[in-house]
């Protein structure tokens, strides 16, 4: 087998993961356009975007079981095909129902892509580069999300949303063709047999302490990125720090860039050390410390906010070591399932923390309104977002309980 071929196979899986992230954020730059096109309100468009997340969460454990039982290549081909068909249906939708169907298919296709890409890295590439390659997969996701923001917004403005999504469908078609080529390749390593049937396999994983530590660590690691960056950062930056909405969006891009750099960097350090625990704990200390300084220090200059958000994203890159540890600890036929369970925990955590922060904000609201929306003061945000500081501390503690692995394990 040519030396470049394993990297091509892994790269295809990483590109598919990035393609899924492109579709994850794409509705955000088309909100007004879609509301006008389909004559619906914001709640409907919010649900249209949310369909992706619902299907993403639902697919995690089934995808892990399929990867463990049958390998990654067939499900990768099916994922690419579903994303492509979904993009086509969405781009050609005559009404809101068809657009929901398209987004549903995209979510079903994109949901398994991280488990697929991580398994491809473990099976096709050198094992001692697992954390680095997994971190690079995260970077592909960040790159896909960035393409789904400013470049897609420009495309929608210049060519219309249908043409832009049709172009995205052609990219998916290219990825689908690549996955069918990969299906014809011989498998480089024998697949470990599953120790039990699927139901028994789930029970055996859930009975192990390791999976609960890893899931807690994963959910708490991503709390700041997904609850703050995913929902509450823009209002905090505009209402408390005085940034414009455009500058707030740029700050979030800096935060995401830090994550995209930190994931492979911390993975590389871990692979070089042959250990997971010390780099993860160090990354989590960086993540929670920088966020606490950002939230609790008054009158920070703009440059300091940029730096702190970048460093917080950099520390969040340690999440890759959670998945690398899951692969290490559940090697032998349960790697995909363990990664799927951890990913489900992350999504459930994000879905729970976003409204929890909002509930605390409402409890500290002083009655101010602007344009019909509630405006929270700095003290309210400190109370609400302090929940995420607690999550960061939990991530550090989970890291201290993290089962250590090494290349010799």
Per-residue pLDDT averaged across 118-147, rounded?
87
Q: So what's the pLDDT on residue 284?
A: 96
Contact criterion met (CB below 8 Å) for 87 and 106: yes
pLDDT score at 369: 81
How far does the chain reach from its first CA to its final CA, in angstroms? 28
* pTM for the structure as a whole: 0.81
Q: Which CATH number fits domain 205-403: 3.40.462.10, 1.20.1250.20, 3.30.365.10, 1.10.3300.10?
A: 1.20.1250.20
Residue 194 confidence (pLDDT)? 53
Share of the chain above pLDDT 70, in %: 93
Nearest in space to 279 (alpha carbons), one of 133, 117, 396: 396
Residues 172-197: what's their mean pLDDT? Answer: 76
Quote the pLDDT of residue 316: 94
Among 124-128, 129-133, 289-293, where is mean pLDDT lowest?
124-128
Give the pLDDT of residue 304.
95
**Equal CATH topology for 1-184 and 205-403:** yes
Ordered by start, the domain boundaries in the chain are 1-184, 205-403
Using pLDDT thresholds of 50, 70 and 90, give the confidence band for residue 408: very low
Nearest residue to 76 via CA among 8, 170, 178: 178
pLDDT at 193: 55
Q: Return the pLDDT at 14.
A: 94
Quick one: pLDDT band at residue 405, thresholds 50, 70, 90? low
Please report the pLDDT score of residue 407 as a whole number: 46
Judge whether residue 205 has pLDDT over 90: no
Q: Which of 66-70, 231-235, 387-391 has the lowest mean pLDDT?
A: 231-235
CA pair distance 91, 93, nearest whole angstrom: 6
- pLDDT the model gives residue 409: 41
Counting every residue written for the chain, the total comes to 409
pLDDT of residue 1: 62
pLDDT band at 339 (very low <50, low <70, confident <90, very high): confident
pLDDT tens per residue across span 185-199: 776 665 555 555 667
- pLDDT tens across 40-57, in order? 766 677 678 778 878 888
What pLDDT is stored for residue 374 in this prediction?
Answer: 75
**Residues whose CB is less than 8 angstroms from the CB of residue 184 and which lie 6 or more positions away in sequence, other chains included:** none
What tens digit of pLDDT does each residue of 64-122 get? 888 888 888 889 999 999 999 999 999 999 888 999 999 999 999 998 999 899 889 88
Residue 340 to residue 345: CA distance in whole angstroms = 9
CA distance 221 to 388: 10
What does the pLDDT look like over 14-43, one tens digit per residue? 999 999 989 888 887 776 788 788 887 666
Across residues 262-285, what is the average pLDDT? 92
Q: If you classify domain 1-184 with CATH, what class do you get?
A: mainly alpha
Dihedral of the alpha carbons of 88, 42, 24, 161, in degrees to the nearest 10: 40
């Amino acid at each position: 087998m040519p030396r470049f071929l394993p990297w091509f196979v892994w790269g295809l899986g990483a590109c598919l993961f990035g393609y899924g992230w492109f579709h994850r954020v794409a509705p955000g730059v088309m909100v007004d356009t879609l509301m006008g096109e389909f004559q619906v309100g914001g709640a409907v468009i919010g649900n249209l975007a949310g369909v992706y997340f619902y299907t993403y969460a639902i697919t995690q454990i089934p995808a892990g079981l399929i990867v463990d039982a049958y390998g990654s290549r067939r499900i990768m081909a099916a994922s690419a095909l579903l994303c492509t068909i979904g993009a086509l249906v969405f781009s050609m939708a005559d009404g809101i129902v068809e657009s929901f169907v398209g987004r549903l298919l995209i979510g079903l296709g994109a949901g398994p892509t991280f488990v697929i890409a991580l398994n491809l890295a473990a099976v096709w590439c050198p094992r001692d580069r697992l954390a680095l390659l997994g971190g690079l997969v995260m970077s592909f996701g960040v790159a896909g999300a960035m393409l789904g923001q400013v470049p897609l917004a420009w495309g929608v403005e210049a060519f219309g949303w249908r043409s832009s999504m049709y172009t995205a469908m052609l990219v998916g078609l290219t990825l689908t063709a690549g996955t069918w080529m990969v299906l014809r390749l011989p498998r480089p390593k024998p697949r470990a047999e599953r120790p039990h049937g699927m139901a028994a396999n789930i029970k055996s994983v859930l009975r192990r302490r390791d999976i609960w530590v890893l899931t807690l660590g994963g959910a708490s690691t991503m709390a700041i990125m997904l609850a703050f960056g995913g929902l509450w950062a823009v209002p905090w930056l505009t209402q408390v720090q005085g940034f414009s909405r455009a500058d707030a969006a740029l700050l979030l891009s800096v935060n995401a860039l830090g994550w995209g750099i930190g994931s492979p960097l911390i993975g590389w350090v871990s692979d070089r050390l042959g250990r997971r625990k010390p780099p993860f704990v160090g990354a989590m200390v960086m993540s929670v410390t920088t966020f606490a300084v950002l939230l609790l220090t008054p009158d920070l200059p703009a440059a300091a906010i940029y730096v702190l958000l970048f460093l917080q994203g950099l520390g969040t890159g340690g999440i890759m070591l959670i998945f690398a540890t899951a692969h290490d600890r559940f090697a032998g036929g349960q790697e995909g399932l363990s990664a799927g369970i951890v990913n489900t925990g992350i999504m459930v955590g994000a879905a729970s923390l976003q409204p929890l922060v909002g509930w605390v904000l409402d409890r500290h609201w002083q009655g101010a309104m602007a344009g019909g929306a509630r405006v929270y003061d700095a003290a309210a945000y400190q109370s609400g977002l302090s929940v995420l500081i607690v999550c960061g501390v939990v991530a550090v503690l989970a890291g201290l309980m993290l089962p250590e692995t090494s290349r010799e394990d």
